């Protein structure tokens, strides 16, 4: 049977709308989502989207459910040190995890197996269990250190997917650009989506 569970982490890189839209799409696709939110991600979410999340996981969940008008039963918001969460152990964690957006700081922590909070631990668990880890990294320009960290993780099977939307679908809005990235992420996760036309289909007829 298909495991319709996934871990989604939001960190303090620019690109909060990507993370929010991805959460919305995963819930709409009937996935159980374990959501991890770094402190900096909360600041970025408030700055870029005007959404101020309350600090506790339960209150944050309530705010997100109201904001997205989604089914509360499929969303689990985890605390930063909730070591008893399923995502903290290889015996229970979902096999797929996305960090979107992923900061250079979290990239470095994951590349070095820090496991200093639940978000970093969850990424470490997915890697050790040979699951699918996808990092939607956002920074520009990249330093040599960023590039080395990405190369190291890529060699271990982690997918590095820079938040770099294409323009060949002639986007008309920010939402179109966000959907471009989210569609690519969902494709990689094997989640069905119809957010953007597929290359080669629309152009030919």
Ligand X SMILES: Cc1cc2nc3c(=O)[nH]c(=O)nc-3n(C[C@H](O)[C@H](O)[C@H](O)COP(=O)(O)O)c2cc1C
Interface positions with ligand X (CB under 6 A): 11-14, 38, 40-41, 43-44, 47, 103-106, 138-139
CB of 64 to ligand X, least distance (A): 17
Is residue 164 part of an annotated ligand binding site? no
Is residue 106 part of an annotated ligand binding site? yes
Give the CA distances from residue 90 to residues 76, 95, 132, 156, in Å, rounded to whole numbers and listed in that order.
18, 9, 13, 17
CB of 106 to ligand X, least distance (A): 4
CA angle 141, 145, 148 (to 5 degrees): 105
Q: How many CA atoms lie within 13 A of 182 on its CB side?
A: 24
Is residue 38 part of an annotated ligand binding site? yes
Residue nearest to ligand X (CB): 12
CB of 43 to ligand X, least distance (A): 5
Is residue 184 part of an annotated ligand binding site? yes
CB of 170 to ligand X, least distance (A): 25
Both tokens of 43, joined, read 């600041």
Structure letter (DSSP) for residue 140: S
What is the Cα–Cα distance from 35 to 107, expressed in whole angstroms?
18
Q: Residues at the annotated binding site for dimethylallyl phosphate?
A: 168, 184
Annotated binding site for FMN: 12-14, 38, 103-106, 138
């Amino acid at each position: 049977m298909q495991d319709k569970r996934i871990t989604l982490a939001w960190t303090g890189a620019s690109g909060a709308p990507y993370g929010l839209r991805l959460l919305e799409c995963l819930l709409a696709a009937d996935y159980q989502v374990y959501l991890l939110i770094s402190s900096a991600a909360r600041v970025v979410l408030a700055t870029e989207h005007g959404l101020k999340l309350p600090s506790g996981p339960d209150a944050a969940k309530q705010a997100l459910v109201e904001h997205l008008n989604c089914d509360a039963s499929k969303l689990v918001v985890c605390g930063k040190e909730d070591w008893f969460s399923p995502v903290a152990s290889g015996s229970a964690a979902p096999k797929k995890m996305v960090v979107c957006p992923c900061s250079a700081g979290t990239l470095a922590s994951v590349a070095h197996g820090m496991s200093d909070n639940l978000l970093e631990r969850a990424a470490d668990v997915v890697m050790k269990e040979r699951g699918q880890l996808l990092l939607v990294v956002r920074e520009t320009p990249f330093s040599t250190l960023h590039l080395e960290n990405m190369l190291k993780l890529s060699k271990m099977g982690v997918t590095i997917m820079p938040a770099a939307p294409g323009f060949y679908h002639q986007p008309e809005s920010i939402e179109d650009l966000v959907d471009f990235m989210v569609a690519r992420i969902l494709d990689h996760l094997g989640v069905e989506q119809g957010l953007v036309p597929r290359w080669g289909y629309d152009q030919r007829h």
